[in-house]
Structure 1
């Protein structure tokens, strides 16, 4: 029976011993080490301690004191060995870099899904004649316009087959003439609102899930054939039970999971290109990919578009309409809006041609005024005003659609952007340079004089009178920014993209529209509005209220400073290391230096003591100098290991 009880207690005793041993090792190292590797190190230490004990004891039995000392020495040596193993493991495979069993299972499933998607993308590329570009070799023969057009068609077809994420990526790239040649930008623009529709049965299932009741209890009729099928959603005409004509925007089923998988692939690709290519680092591909991912995920939540509709609707001038939403019927995947009757500008060529030239210029000016108000005054603007998102109504007004992608600018950014636009229109390169540097994230070094020259050259080239003078201004500014390695914040890039997209739309409405002249006139009106007596009075009152507490305290502070100077007591007190982070950094550095010095000194003393012959004896076979030498050696090893662990972790964090 005692033997059986002993066998039963072996496992719990071993577990407690291992945990205690692991806790001691982690405490001695001074850092938290993973529980699994700590347990393995403790098991190793127990096994090694037994072997060392047997080797030190020898065949002859020892007295109790000698046995205890030998056991202590064996345990210390085994602990040192375990700590050395932990430090080496931390250097080779840092703690947390290897996933646990659950993470391994999830990672394996995700990797399998990504691999399938990789092969699917490769097959799509090969099917559209892009396989030769996947081998990473340089291909000639693309210098001609015809060859680039053929390749652009293949790229557009491949992106169209790739699914929603790649369609949206193509849509955004179509506005980046600073990155892509014109043939590609023109071809990718055809991706807008041209996705294949999903079946009516799938749309009905989404409607029922979002409404929480049968479709017949909400709508008197819903057209099965979609009005438009975009990459994220499709739009159906419908009529409510009260007879109101509406449009129903329904998200494609299962699109969120597809987007998450493809965005993961794009993130990995952007990270690789930024690390391995100069152009990827110059463009900041990881930040661009993150901005694209954030915008796309925001577009998938129709509740955000509902908020955008309500906010933008209050900022539009006469002649611009925004559909009103039926908020109680809307959800994350469903948007029910007022139906605006009209023709998209992308298909409104005959309707536009029937309008007088003066009316077309008036419509274009109204749209430009609306955009400048959104960007410069309210800081909430439609990012993607391409012709497919603008309706031309029978009365000649414009209706704005698709508010899933909306940019937001703070007051400081709006002011800097307004200064940039005004300087570009007025050929003021110095002010334009200062405003541009306020908009971007400046690197450690930037050649401001060269940047000023570049902006000046752009102004001479693109601000000349004429309807087509400003068409390439914004792409040219973006190219200049990239050439000087200036990082553009995502929202500023969205504003640039919005204006670049708007230029093509304005030209479609009125080919003879003088963008520079109209923008200068709109900016002048905005400055005049800001300089009205009422606006100036409100601004002055606001600034005075902000400065009033400071003005009340200023005379007393000046009087005290003058009195101290008069009596020779004026001094300047500068507190070194006032910041808590600085103090913590210096303190940690001193601690590490102190540990290294003490460890080194202990190691030297241990070597000296172990080399001394003779000396007093604790037992007939154990000398005092040897015990002290081994003890100091253990201390030295522990201290040095603590310093090494901190160094390895700081290197990885850096």
Structure 2
């Protein structure tokens, strides 16, 4: 037993020494699991393979006094081979399976129950798709874009899949720039409905949010919901002050269900992006990411309460034509939202003719409101679909459900205005400059070709009689993507909101011209910026920005002239001033130097190994050959160091 313990301790010490030496020579950190495997392999190869083979002549006899130095040299050479073998295994392992490609062993069983639930849900979604005949879409099989039966099957599958997929279908039903009419018509039929919570359960959630019994919070609370969906349900109530309010209550477990389904949607989007042409053309991964972000905000009611408060304050400043409900933050939390009840009916079910209203005027007012939110407030409704619009009793439009909003800073609002003006003038170069100014300009951009593509685009869509529509934005984005222009996501959200709003505008007035009205709005903003008061304000802002610089100019000019007068004026040119650039160049030089040294050492090793003259170290090994083996090990270490650095950097880039 003591001998076995000593043997195990010796193996552990040797393995640790091999791992330490290999790691230090490669100058790369690897996981403990990798180091343990390669160290044991290296130690085993030396202990039971290379060492017995080299010392075979002395297995049955003791070395003589003259042979002891040779045996000692061979023994040291063999020991050095152990970390070299471990280094070879590490480099090969890193090349085949980069670090991070496989989760660490300690995480394999972490969250196993959650992964099992996700897998079960994933299989359930696939079973629903197969039941409705949609597996061909997942495999990339071409389908008829106008196939009404396939569109009907997609709608039924999304309905069966539950809340998150129903929400996805509802959003897609507003994207006429992406889907054919047959799909738009079917997806518009999706209804996000669910069995309501019991009145006592709803009241308990409200009491937890308000921190008081429900009788103290409301003069009247209707336990029967006026609407019940899979994420939330809505109740009506009256405060003690007499104000009518709406109470929006999130269903228990809705947040967990949404997160689980969003993971499924992201996986499906990645699969479609990799294996289908239509998935890549529609940018399904970008759609999935945007949908996930919007739905997470919709589930957290504190986000909507904050958005409502900001939008309401902005509306008060400019006396907006459209109303939004005001939240009661003191009665709300992430699960319950109490807000003002707007008196009216859903816009989709309103009968405009019976009330003597002009659909075109309402559509124009709604579009002006959207542009005011974008251009003036800098915060706008990111999902203005028909379900979020109301026709109020005072014939105004009400906007509800601000769970998802977009935000633009002053620079982005100015850039969007420049885009509108360039479209209004049909000026291709100006539109190209506006898009490039707001985006990340690629190094290989062909400015002339980009301007010509935009000019051709406007000649097709913006000439008299062309009847421009929301599809022009789709083509515009294709031109931008072709020339590798990256539009900021905040500005892309503007175009998505306009694409969604277009369905509401044409429902109010089938002949409504979105582009023509947008031109008028752009001119109005341009005229507003040219008013004397606006110009004066702009000048004052620029002067305020320049004042700190102007104060320092006299002192700096004085120093400059004094240095020139005394002959001390010099100019410094600093190459590689950034520490990061110096590190990159140093790393390149180190790799080149190690490569040259490895090649030289390898060449010398080959020459020495082929030299059979000179003194003998043993009966089968000459001294020059021993030196050749040593140089070969040194060359291997240097070459492996370079390869390890290359493979590690590649893994980090991936």
Normalised by the length of structure 1, the TM-score is 0.86
Does structure 1 residue 457 correspond to structure 2 residue 455?
no
Partner of 2:59: 58
Cα deviation digits, residues 415-438 of structure 1 (max 9, x gap) = 121122233344444433433444
- Post-superposition offset of 1:337: 0.9
What are the equivalent positions in structure 2 for 1:365-404 lying under 5 Å apart?
A: 365-404=364-403
User: Against the structure 1 CA distance between its residues 512 and 632, is the aligned structure 2 distance closer, same or farther, given a 3 Å change threshold?
Assistant: closer
Partner of 2:45: 48
- Post-superposition offset of 1:203: 4.1
CA distance in 2, matches of 1:484, 1:45: 52
Partner of 1:95: 99
- Post-superposition offset of 1:543: 0.7
- Post-superposition offset of 1:483: 6.6
Could you tell which deviates more after superposition, 337-346 or 207-216? 207-216
- Say whether the 8 Å CA contact 1:234–1:252 is kept in structure 2: yes
User: Against the structure 1 CA distance between its residues 241 and 422, is the aligned structure 2 distance closer, same or farther, given a 3 Å change threshold?
Assistant: same
CA distance in 2, matches of 1:477, 1:507: 21
CA distance in 2, matches of 1:427, 1:625: 81
What are the equivalent positions in structure 2 for 1:112-511 lying under 5 Å apart?
A: 112-130=116-134, 133=137, 136-139=140-143, 143=146, 148-191=147-190, 194-200=192-198, 203=202, 206-207=205-206, 210-211=209-210, 215=214, 218-240=217-239, 243-316=242-315, 317-348=319-350, 350=351, 352-357=352-357, 361-439=360-438, 444-445=444-445, 447-448=449-450, 449-460=452-463, 470=469, 473-475=472-474, 477-478=476-477, 481=480, 487-510=486-509
Normalised by the length of structure 2, the TM-score is 0.86
- Say whether the 8 Å CA contact 1:379–1:414 is kept in structure 2: yes
User: Against the structure 1 CA distance between its residues 298 and 289, is the aligned structure 2 distance closer, same or farther, given a 3 Å change threshold?
Assistant: same
Cα deviation digits, residues 93-145 of structure 1 (max 9, x gap) = 223322233422247655543432233223323444545655644445x65xx
CA distance in 2, matches of 1:118, 1:36: 31
**What SS does the corresponding residue of 2:177 show, helix, strand or coil?**
coil
Does structure 1 residue 21 correspond to structure 2 residue 26?
no
How many residues were matched structurally? 638
- Say whether the 8 Å CA contact 2:99–2:651 is kept in structure 1: no
Could you tell which deviates more after superposition, 250-259 or 20-29? 250-259
Could you tell which deviates more after superposition, 309-318 or 119-128? 119-128
Could you tell which deviates more after superposition, 110-119 or 314-323? 110-119
Partner of 2:528: 529
Cα deviation digits, residues 574-632 of structure 1 (max 9, x gap) = 43333333222221111111111111212222233344445457789976434433322
CA distance in 2, matches of 1:458, 1:571: 57
Could you tell which deviates more after superposition, 235-244 or 251-260? 235-244
User: Against the structure 1 CA distance between its residues 489 and 230, is the aligned structure 2 distance closer, same or farther, given a 3 Å change threshold?
Assistant: farther
**What SS does the corresponding residue of 1:460 show, helix, strand or coil?**
coil
CA distance in 2, matches of 1:619, 1:503: 90
**What SS does the corresponding residue of 1:320 show, helix, strand or coil?**
coil
- Post-superposition offset of 1:67: 4.9
CA distance in 1, matches of 2:472, 2:618: 91
- Say whether the 8 Å CA contact 2:347–2:390 is kept in structure 1: yes
Cα deviation digits, residues 522-572 of structure 1 (max 9, x gap) = 334333332332322221122122223444555777799899999999987
Could you tell which deviates more after superposition, 557-566 or 476-485? 557-566
Does structure 1 residue 78 correspond to structure 2 residue 82?
yes
Could you tell which deviates more after superposition, 633-642 or 532-541? 532-541
Partner of 1:629: 628
Could you tell which deviates more after superposition, 523-532 or 554-563? 554-563
- Post-superposition offset of 1:292: 2.2
Cα deviation digits, residues 466-524 of structure 1 (max 9, x gap) = xxx65655455456556766554332222112222333323434556554554444334
- Say whether the 8 Å CA contact 2:220–2:238 is kept in structure 1: yes
**What SS does the corresponding residue of 2:108 show, helix, strand or coil?**
helix
**What SS does the corresponding residue of 2:233 show, helix, strand or coil?**
strand
CA distance in 1, matches of 2:90, 2:502: 62
**What SS does the corresponding residue of 2:355 show, helix, strand or coil?**
coil
- RMSD over equivalenced CA pairs, Å: 3.5
Unaligned runs of 5+ in 1: none
CA distance in 2, matches of 1:513, 1:68: 94
CA distance in 1, matches of 2:570, 2:278: 53
User: Against the structure 1 CA distance between its residues 454 and 442, is the aligned structure 2 distance closer, same or farther, given a 3 Å change threshold?
Assistant: farther
User: Against the structure 1 CA distance between its residues 160 and 134, is the aligned structure 2 distance closer, same or farther, given a 3 Å change threshold?
Assistant: same
- Say whether the 8 Å CA contact 1:232–1:251 is kept in structure 2: yes
CA distance in 2, matches of 1:285, 1:565: 62
**What SS does the corresponding residue of 2:401 show, helix, strand or coil?**
coil
CA distance in 2, matches of 1:472, 1:161: 31
CA distance in 2, matches of 1:215, 1:570: 79
- Say whether the 8 Å CA contact 1:283–1:482 is kept in structure 2: no
CA distance in 2, matches of 1:463, 1:565: 65
CA distance in 2, matches of 1:225, 1:27: 70
Partner of 1:105: 109
- Say whether the 8 Å CA contact 1:235–1:249 is kept in structure 2: yes
- Say whether the 8 Å CA contact 2:140–2:277 is kept in structure 1: no
- Say whether the 8 Å CA contact 1:274–1:281 is kept in structure 2: yes
CA distance in 2, matches of 1:482, 1:90: 35
User: Against the structure 1 CA distance between its residues 255 and 451, is the aligned structure 2 distance closer, same or farther, given a 3 Å change threshold?
Assistant: same
Partner of 2:582: 583
